[in-house]
Structure 1
Amino acid sequence: MSFKSTNYITLLLFLIIIEACSKKEEVFETKITSLSVSDITLFTAVFKGSISVIGSDGITDHGFVWSLTENPTLDNNPNKTSLGAINNPADFESKVEGLEANTEYFARIYTINNEGNASYGGSFKFATKDGWNQKQDFSAYATGKLIDGSTSFVIDGKAYVGGGRNLDDNVVLKQCWAYSPITDTWSQVANMIYERQGAVGFAIDGKGYVVTGSYARDVQQYDPTNNTWSKKADFPGEGRFYAAGFAINGKGYVGAGRINSNTQMYDFWEYSPSSDQWTQKALIGEDIFSGIVRSNALGFVINGKGYIGGGVDSNNERLSDFWEYDPSTGMWSKKADIPSIISLAGSFSLGNEGYLVQAASLYIYNPSNNAWKTRTNFKMTSTPSVGFAIDGKAYVAMPYSRERPVWQYNPN
């Protein structure tokens, strides 16, 4: 090969190398194409996303980020779900838990590239459900009158609500009505034997009990099979109203309450329907409540243990302390305070949690971690006087109002 040919080839190779080196590497960005939110409940939602192009800088992590404000970012934000690195365009989704009920959120897809830089898709707004549905109102009960101090119990999938004082006419009532969630209807049943305001209601073995109220000591038992009321052994403590109570494992429990306009109590009693007898139990107070007596307290049962708290003391000051009763030991133990001072609220338990409803606020107690959660923006403006649970759903009714709205709460 001639010297001239060799020089030509060398020059050609040099030019090719120069051209190759002068070409810049092609750069392109990741493309986030969509975000949607589905299967929204009170506390959960499913986020779905799509990435159509993987950028030249790669993706070392991707996922979702959300907050209460528009255009959320990863900066100081614990609300994210990470799905890791991704090498190819893909659709992806994640179920997000721990959201607040009845709350508006903003969510975005995020990606992080090899340089550690974050990119985001567009912001998507959604709102969790509030869990409340309005049911058939109870307007037939003392229509248009202001009612205070009704009571309730549940037997075989129906709730029974009765008693209370018609404040407009200053008349204590003994009517009793049954509510069927299946038909969403109210029907009147036999009147109670005695008119009662501020009584305790509970059910044991297919029969309902209305205990004390209106400063009385009597116990009225309702049998739905024949729609009749009968009198049982009197409550052995002093006659009272606005006591607190519940039923556990075939026994009824009643305590506290007001015995006159100036005196409240903290005694506590157990009722056995099989023997029709009462037995005094550990005081709701002595060396436990630091001597605080109370009336208008709230009570419910979770997993075989009873809970009582709130109410008003002897100075008519509202309380927020909260206590657990274990019938196997007969002892009380103090638990986390209710987040608000509270009295005469609707109360019920669902699953492993207890609930208190005070006007537009819902307080939820979980005994597993001894902690309360607060939900707000409930549509009822007045505090309901009765609450009950049937088949995994709860109902509150009889607010301090001339209207009779009934609301159903579905935690799912």
Structure 2
Amino acid sequence: MRNFKSYSLLLIASVLASCSKDSTSTSKLGNWIKRSEFEGVARSAAASFVIDNKAYIGTGYDGTNRLQDFWVYDVSLNQWTQKALFPGVGRNNASGFAAAGKGYVGIGYDGLNKLSDFYQYDPTANTWTRKADFAGSARYGAVSFALKDQGYIATGYDGNWLKDNWMYDPTSNTWTQEQSINTGKRTDASVFVIANRAYVCMGTANGTNVTDFYAYDADQAQWIQLRPIANVSDQSYDDAYNFAGYAAAAFAMKGKGYIATGIKSGLSTAVWEYDPTTDLWNQKTDFEGAARSYATGFTVNDRGFVVLGTSSSQPFDDMWEFDPTAQYNPND
């Protein structure tokens, strides 16, 4: 049985190498700035959503316990505040999204069971309400996103690797199965949203890192295949691509998508930027914190952040903001 607690067995040398900045990282464009540490206990595989320019993050795994606490981050104050406890059982690898002014969290893994329960968070009342259970199979490690005030949960692991896609309608409190990803079953993939498209890449299945890359178009209600994220073609565009992996943080800002950290050949600090106008990736300055997996990425006011994660044995509570256009500054 696949067990999240094992994360990945990594060679010590690989971990130590990835914990320090790559020797060429300072020659790439982009700068990381350390922000206020997460105020709850350190953890990985947390769920998140953003409402009214505030990021809500909770649940996750601290290395011993699956958690229920939830916190909100106010970017303007650089401050965390605890909110109402998540009402379901503590879990890791749950899925979260925001739609129509409410937050939603569900599915995941409680250490014994794959889950399908699903809850709505009202930020005004600071209350949770149970909603219709996820209509797909109980799972964890799925991607989740919102487009046009509809929520989606896709892929994941239910004992098998998955590629199905389900839409949640907050108005009717119902789930509808939508078009599955054409190829590429996967778990622990990454997703970011630009305009009316959700971009899903990375992930792992059957012991192999997935290299295909898809966007889900809300207007067409279908998946569009994009260029692979690894050097698997005879063309020159992907000669420098080396970031197929899983358990990476993702966010989008200013019309571009970003993938940071995760597990590639080992724990990684690499950062890649995606331009949807060219369908090409460009490597940016490495993540300045310790190499990690299962971190959380989010965007507020076109500002991208990475928080939490684990080194396989050590959970983290630090948070970093990324400026993709700034020169690297080692002193901030």
The alignment status of 1:346 with 2:243, answered yes or no, reads no
Name the aligned partner's letter for residue 220 of structure 2: T
Map 1:118-157; keep pairs closer than 5 Å. 130-138=30-38, 140-142=39-41, 147-157=43-53
Name the aligned partner's letter for residue 391 of structure 1: N
> TM-score, with normalisation over the residues of structure 1?
0.64
Distance 2:185 2:315 in 1: 31
2:173 to 271, 276, 279: 276
2:204 to 296, 302, 312: 312
Partner residue, 2:272: 363
What is the CA deviation profile of residues 49-84 of structure 1, one whole-angstrom value per residue up to 9, with x for unaligned ones? xxxxxxxxxxxxxxxxxxxxxxxxxxxxxxxxxxxx
Distance 1:331 1:150 in 2: 28
What is the CA deviation profile of residues 179-228 of structure 1, one whole-angstrom value per residue up to 9, with x for unaligned ones? 11111111111000112210111111221111211111111111110111
Q: Which of structures 1 and 2 has the bigger CA Rg? A: 1
> TM-score, with normalisation over the residues of structure 2?
0.79
Task: Kindly tell me the number of residue pairs found equivalent between the two proteins.
Answer: 275
- Mapped contact 1:199–1:213 kept (Cα < 8 A): yes
- Mapped contact 1:199–1:242 kept (Cα < 8 A): yes
> Relative to total residues, which structure has the larger strand share, 1 or 2?
1
Distance 1:403 1:248 in 2: 30
Partner residue, 1:191: 85
What is the CA deviation profile of residues 72-126 of structure 1, one whole-angstrom value per residue up to 9, with x for unaligned ones? xxxxxxxxxxxxxxxxxxxxxxxxxxxx9842xxxxxxxxxxxxxxxxxxxxxxx
The alignment status of 1:408 with 2:321, answered yes or no, reads yes
Distance 1:206 1:410 in 2: 27
Identity %: 32
Name the aligned partner's letter for residue 255 of structure 2: N
Gaps (5+ residues) in structure 1?
1-99, 104-127
Distance 2:162 2:254 in 1: 31
Structure 1 runs of 4+ aligned residues shifted over 3 Å read: none
Q: Flag the structure with more relative contact order, 1 or 2, with Cα contacts below 8 A and sequence separation at least 6.
A: 2
What is the CA deviation profile of residues 148-201 of structure 1, one whole-angstrom value per residue up to 9, with x for unaligned ones? 31111111111111011222x2x2111101111111111111000112210111
Map 1:117-266; keep pairs closer than 5 Å. 130-138=30-38, 140-142=39-41, 147-167=43-63, 169=64, 171-194=65-88, 195-214=90-109, 215-260=114-159, 263-266=160-163
Tell me the C-alpha RMSD between the 2 structures: 1.7
Gaps (5+ residues) in structure 2?
1-23, 230-240, 262-267, 326-332
Distance 2:149 2:302 in 1: 21
